[in-house]
């Protein structure tokens, strides 16, 4: 599968996976392996990164294999998002950060103004910034102009499993933004991931769809295959949609004609 770049680093896997909500760290480890991911998000406010015991997070996370993407999940204002990102860099050594500034407790939709301000500060701090944002072409363009290294528009509310609710907005974003577009939030099953990739997204990020499945490891494998097949279909170029039938076999030289 073709590669893509974020912040000067090249990646092959187009599936980003979260590290939370699994039944156990062991299941997390096996799911990450099955997913084939190279980038793993970590909610630094919800994981004890100081626990280096045999039962802790670090005992089940391969620092050499995965690029860690700390996120500012649970932050509802600029100050807490920036502080969390800075603490995450100190704790993990990673310059990558997924920036979340939540504006509504029920929908967990982002606060656009707060997100822009937090990203501006973190870019000045030298972070590789990947903002979680609404599926709005205008805010995505503003984030790109600010200097963000990717944009991460939601497909549906976080953890909803509703799949891609507005493919038309995503298509516009993909046409207008030149940095990688990573579809984030709302994926429920493998077909959702495939659709995102067929639209032309650089990658898909998910957590609940895998961690919340009856069999997270099996779902991780399914998502791996879906992302790969969706990307291949996008690169291959689908046939145009038509209202009427077109014969699948050529008519020239047909017997009796």
Q: Which position among 65, 79, 98, 242 bears the catalytic label?
A: 98
Mean pLDDT across the chain: 91
Contacts of 198 (CB under 8 A, 6+ apart): 230, 233, 234, 238
Q: Which residues pair with 205 in a beta bridge?
A: 16, 184
- What 8-state DSSP symbol labels residue 42? E
pLDDT higher than threshold 60 for residue 257: no
> What is the pLDDT averaged over residues 110-132?
97
Grade residue 51 by pLDDT with cuts at 50, 70 and 90. low
pLDDT recorded at residue 160: 87
pLDDT recorded at residue 253: 64
**Beta-sheet pairing, 67-71 with 39-43:** parallel
Using the structure block, give the residue that is written with the tokens 């009796």. Answer: 256
- Dihedral sign, Cα of residue 166, residue 173, residue 16, residue 221: positive
pLDDT recorded at residue 256: 62
pLDDT recorded at residue 119: 98
Q: Torsions phi, psi of 43, nearest 5? A: -80, 100
Helix (H) or strand (E) holding 43: strand 39-43
**What pLDDT, in 10s, does the model give residues 182-231?**
999 889 999 999 999 999 999 999 999 999 999 999 999 999 999 999 99
Least confident of 41-50, 218-227, 228-237: 41-50
pLDDT higher than threshold 90 for residue 16: yes
The pTM of this model reads 0.90
pLDDT recorded at residue 156: 86
pLDDT recorded at residue 250: 65
Q: Which residues pair with 69 in a beta bridge?
A: 41
Question: What is the rounded distance in angstroms from the CA atom of residue 14 to the CA atom of residue 178?
Answer: 17
Question: What is the rounded distance in angstroms from the CA atom of residue 41 to the CA atom of residue 208?
Answer: 12
Active site residue 242: no
Packed helices 137-146 and 112-124: angle between N→C axes, nearest 10 degrees: 20
Q: Torsions phi, psi of 244, nearest 5? A: -110, 165
* Residue 200 to residues 18, 32, 46, 185, 195, Cα–Cα distance (Å): 22, 24, 32, 17, 9
Give me the percent of the chain exceeding a pLDDT of 70. 92
Question: What is the rounded distance in angstroms from the CA atom of residue 187 to the CA atom of residue 30?
Answer: 20
**What pLDDT, in 10s, does the model give residues 146-173?**
999 999 999 988 888 888 999 999 999 9
> What is the pLDDT averaged over residues 111-134?
97
Helix (H) or strand (E) holding 145: helix 137-146
Nearest of 120, 189, 180, 127 to residue 153 by alpha carbon: 180
Question: What is the rounded distance in angstroms from the CA atom of residue 92 to the CA atom of residue 230?
Answer: 32
Higher pLDDT, 20 or 15: 15
Question: What is the rounded distance in angstroms from the CA atom of residue 62 to the CA atom of residue 68?
Answer: 10
pLDDT higher than threshold 80 for residue 133: yes
CB atoms within 10 A of CB 72: 26
**What pLDDT, in 10s, does the model give residues 53-110?**
667 677 788 888 999 999 999 999 999 999 999 999 988 888 999 999 999 988 889 9
Grade residue 241 by pLDDT with cuts at 50, 70 and 90. confident
Q: Which residues pair with 65 in a beta bridge?
A: none
Nearest of 138, 120, 141 to residue 129 by alpha carbon: 120
pLDDT higher than threshold 70 for residue 1: no
């Amino acid at each position: 599968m073709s590669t893509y770049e974020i912040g000067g680093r090249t990646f092959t896997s187009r599936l980003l996976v979260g590290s939370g909500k699994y039944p156990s760290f062991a299941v997390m480890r096996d799911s990450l392996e099955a997913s084939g991911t190279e980038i793993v998000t970590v909610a630094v406010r919800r994981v004890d990164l100081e626990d280096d015991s045999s039962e802790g997070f670090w005992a089940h996370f391969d620092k050499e294999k995965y690029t860690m993407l700390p996120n500012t999940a649970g932050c509802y204002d600029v100050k807490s998002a920036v502080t969390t990102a800075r603490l995450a860099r100190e704790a993990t050594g990673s310059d990558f950060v997924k920036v979340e500034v939540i504006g509504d407790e029920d929908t967990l939709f982002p606060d656009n103004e707060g997100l822009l301000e937090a990203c501006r500060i973190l870019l000045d701090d030298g972070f590789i910034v990947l903002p979680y944002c609404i599926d709005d072409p205008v805010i995505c363009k503003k984030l790109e102009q600010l200097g963000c290294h990717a944009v991460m528009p939601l497909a549906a509310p976080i953890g909803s499993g509703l799949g891609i609710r507005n493919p038309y907005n995503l298509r516009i974003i993909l046409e207008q933004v030149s940095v990688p577009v990573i579809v984030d939030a709302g994926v429920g099953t493998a077909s959702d991931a495939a659709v995102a990739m067929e639209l032309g997204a650089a990658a898909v990020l998910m957590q609940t769809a895998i961690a919340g499945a009856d069999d997270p490891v099996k779902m991780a494998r399914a998502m791996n295959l879906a992302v790969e097949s969706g990307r291949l279909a996008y690169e291959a170029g689908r046939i145009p949609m038509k209202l009427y039938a077109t014969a699948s076999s050529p008519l020239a030289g047909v017997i009796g004609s």
